[in-house]
Amino acid sequence: MSEKKPINWTNARTLIALAILVGTELVGASWAAGWALGGLFQLGPGYARAFELIFVVIGFVGLYYFMRTAVAHEPVRR
């Protein structure tokens, strides 16, 4: 049985900070885009919220793929 490598805390802190910063920007911008498009097309409140939800999900998916790539380039384990 192989032992796990120790955690590189410098890289881990960098990735946590990156997830917070990029996640806030990406999900916030996605949510705002859903809100803006709902208002632009003068949709009802239910449809506007659905638009926001769809765009927020797209933002989280984008964040997932971004972080997956970031972890591949900045490994947490030494």
pLDDT of residue 36: 96
Q: Report the percentage of the chain scoring pLDDT > 70.
A: 97
The 10s digit of each residue's pLDDT in 47-70 is: 999 999 999 999 999 999 999 999
* Residue pair 76/7 in contact by the 8 Å Cβ criterion: yes
The model carries a pTM of: 0.85
**Angle at 56 (CA atoms; ends 55, 59), nearest 5 degrees:** 90
Residue owning tokens 């797209």: 58
